[in-house]
Structure 1
């Protein structure tokens, strides 16, 4: 069955695979092996630090992650080492500049709310998105909506337009809905995890980040980076995607949080995972807490074990392969050369992938089908959605294949077959009115200038670019053919 493109999104947590027979580890009291001075002189700094840590972090097998914990001796050392490293090495990021404007006890309510708002926006943008990508979006967002009260006055079209290209658009909608909810309650910005969790779109991670960074609540924050750091610190070989395991990671992170600087500590832990304790190439020699790392200790003892074995690598769900026919419908009043053409855009359903965003008319297909079948699917879609019978109510100026484009989502590989369909409506405004009355979807016409300025998704923008390039190549090709015919005609006349 053919249907309008509508997918569901999924959120993937931290990543990371250890050998199936490698158990979880913990600290034990077994004394370290004696090392001669000659051997010690030839060892790398990382190996030295690893051997020095044996008295603190000698591993022992465990049967259950619930038995793993940080000792009272480990915790102060980890806190002090990590915060010292963070103070000296933290990245200069725009949202951190705002969050440093005074402590919570010495700033106004308005300034506290601005600080919390900045943290909230940045943390939502950073979910599944690289820092370097987020910076420009964050700066533009804060320039347009510098406070939660400014954002609450915006509409979803404005928000989607600014968010365009950042992906996972549901995040933008939740930011807007959350801002409206907070402002309509006419109370201060929620300060605690429990109150923040009541705001639509704010989950455990975002609530913990805002509460600790903006309001100094001693609560943990657990994302993929934190899971990776803790999994290596304690050599946890449990499945990091398992809900029970994730719950235990939250408990371990909660044990570590420094009550005097909870926000800085949480950021330090995430910063360490993002810059030092990375998934594939951890820089253990510069890690401030490598002397506490059980995974590093195990790798020093057994060459078959790697730090990157932790956390366990979970096999990703197989990516679904979908196919769609996309028709860029251009409406002209006269012939194709007129400059007052309009493009038909359709609003996606309010639920599912890319909810509420604009796209060119498209149809999800059951596998790869031939050109005639794709065109039939598009014709049926236009007729059912707008009452637009392109053979009876339109003159087809041209209909050409533009090409194919593969757009990759986290769980879907979508292959789009793109066409340019140029129509001349019979009856003009009367036909347009009939379309408005018959439409079962929200739609609009936009000119070329408006199309280029709209907040379209990266996939729709790519389709638009392909069509413009196609039209440009075609316009260059036609005069060339005419010049060739004229040259041949002139040559024939000269021969005569």
Structure 2
């Protein structure tokens, strides 16, 4: 990963404050851009984008001086375009601020308070990796690792109490790692210990979660299984099934496991799968006691364990006694451990993706220029350019004729908004054809774009100025900052043009 570099040790350039500031400014900028790009995006994709970005704008000052359209164009294909806008706005703010002057703050609280778009995770990464402070770096991978380490069966996406508890654990670990440093410690004016250890530790936890402690973990290869409660519980379960030696747990984890669910208010209760068709890979759907009671008459009662101890100390009649006790963990035993660890953290049932249809109007002048429209500064695809589009309401008649008529009215209103109220088409607007439909999937939206082509027969200077300030003519669609889905629509237009 090109953004992972040696820590900038303040001792090396202590006699040259200007050079030290320049190095810190550059590193903070590099780490900041990488962390924002990596949100919701795979590392393999980000690497090329990050390299091109740094080649185009090597410093935060150069980024601040460029145009918003250039930034959006460089971001094309990464998705979540509001990230690019926030980065650009933040860069300008940081460079113009009389205190920061281009150098991102070193403390988490100041980063979150002063830099738009920087939350506590990104702030922690900058503080730890760049400035060597004992700040926690908690992304989705780390939440999963710590959930399993603590045996915390909770919702790490929406349950604030669970999230705060894991952040507190990560904070304690970061501080312990910083204090454990044997050399390379540096005391600032406030006697705060800084080194490269917190940054390396935070990145190691993220790496562990992305490569080994994944949703389907490789527990056999895990270097911290001895301290993992989820692993220990799975091992106990394997032992009760005769898939591991009875005493293996004392070798791997000498400390007895407390029954955390007897005293923990954070964990969701385990729920047994119905007797007629159990599946160890089944998704856990936590149900409160109140909900269970109210639904018990409406469906077959599910077996439910109140505590882990109840789960692991079954009666002899309920267990199958193996013919011989294994001398080592069997493959089936390891699978039992993995299946148990997979339950952490709680898997929340995803909401159904909303479906939406739009009419996309490509309006072409006789000089081969097209009308493009800038999207609102906030929301989906914020600030990007697109062909004039109209969201089809749910009560609209779902026929080709109705869609064509609606597209004609919307295209006409772009040229003359007064026609919309009268439901009239513009006399100089000519319908060419429907070019096709483009399906596009966002994280929360399944969009179908129906593309229509129109032509305007007009004199040379006619319609040079469009009624809306968000609309303009473009003779170079290829260079416009458009979303990938809208570019698919443009591909249909190019086909018709023979390009």
Is residue 111 from structure 1 mapped to residue 23 from structure 2 by the alignment?
Answer: yes
Structure 1 pair 469–291 and aligned structure 2 pair: CA distance change class (3 A): farther
Give the one of 56, 59, 62 matched to 1:147: 59
The reply to whether residue 468 of structure 1 matches residue 498 of structure 2 is no
CA distance in structure 2 between the aligned counterparts of 1:104 and 1:287, rounded to whole angstroms: 34
The CA deviation string for residues 52-107 of structure 1, in whole angstroms up to 9 with x for no partner, is xxxxxxxxxxxxxxxxxxxxxxxxxxxxxxxxxxxxxxxxx11013xx16423324
Higher helix share: 1
1:95 aligns with 2:95: no
Of 341, 360, 383, which aligns to 1:356?
A: 383
C-alpha spacing 1:392/1:270, structure 2 compared with 1 (3 Å) = closer
2:120 counterpart residue number: 204
Residue 374 (structure 1) aligns with: 403
Aligned with residue 219 of structure 2, among 284, 289, 292:
284
TM alignment of 1:306-455, pairs within 5 A: 306-332=340-366, 340-367=367-394, 369-387=398-416, 391-396=425-430, 399-425=432-458, 427-433=459-465, 436=466, 439-447=467-475, 450-455=476-481
Once the 2 structures are TM-superposed, how far is the Cα of residue 376 of structure 1 from its aligned partner?
2.6
Secondary structure in 2 matching 1:419: strand
Work out the CA distance in 2 between the residues paired with 1:163 and 1:351: 16
Contact 1:393 1:431 in 2 (8 A): no
Alpha-carbon distance between aligned partners in 2 of 1:211 and 1:322, rounded to the nearest angstrom: 41
Change (3 A) 1:227 1:322: same
Q: State the shift of 1:395 in Å.
A: 5.0
User: Do 1:165 and 1:456's aligned partners in 2 also have CA atoms closer than 8 Å?
Assistant: no
Closer/same/farther in 2, CA of residues 464 and 392 from structure 1, 3 Å limit = closer
The number of equivalent residue pairs is 363
Aligned partners of 1:326 and 1:300: how far apart in 2? Answer: 57
Match in the other structure for 2:484: 458
State the secondary structure of the residue aligned to 1:112. helix
| Distance in 1, Cα, partners of 2:26 & 2:212 | 30
What does 1:267-306 correspond to in 2, within 5 Å? Answer: 267-280=203-216, 282-302=217-237, 304=280, 305-306=339-340
Structure 1 gap ranges (5+): 1-92, 333-339, 476-496
Instruction: Say if 2:8 and 2:23, in contact at 8 Å, map to a contact too.
Output: no
1:222, CA displacement in angstroms? 1.2
CA deviations 1:253-312 (Å, max 9, x no partner) are 1111121411111111111111111113x2222221122112122223325552211111
**3-state DSSP of counterpart to 1:165:** coil
Are residues 221 and 466 of structure 1, via their aligned partners in 2, closer, same or farther at CA, if it must alter by over 3 Å?
Answer: same
Which SS does the other structure have where 1:114 is aligned? Answer: helix
Structure 1 residue 471: Cα displacement? 4.3
Change (3 A) 1:301 1:173: same
Q: Would the aligned equivalents of 2:412 and 2:426 in 1 still touch at CA under 8 Å?
A: no
CA distance in 1 between partners of 2:472 and 2:485 (Å): 19
Alignment partners' CA distance in 1, 2:144 and 2:228:
12
Larger mean CA deviation between 126-135 and 301-310 belongs to 301-310
- C-alpha contact (below 8 Å) 1:232/1:293 kept by paired residues: yes
Q: For residues 395 and 174 of structure 1, do their structure 2 counterparts lie closer, same or farther at Cα, with a shift above 3 Å needed? A: closer
Which residue does the alignment assign to 1:493? none
TM-score by length of 2: 0.69
What root-mean-square deviation, in Å, do the aligned CA atoms of Structure 1 and Structure 2 show? 2.0
- Give the conservation status (yes or no) of the 8 Å contact 2:29–2:59: yes
Is the Cα–Cα contact under 8 Å of residues 415 and 426 in structure 2 kept in the other structure? Answer: no
Question: Structure 2: which 5+ runs fail to align?
Answer: 14-19, 182-196, 239-279, 281-338
The offset of 1:167, in angstroms, is: 0.5
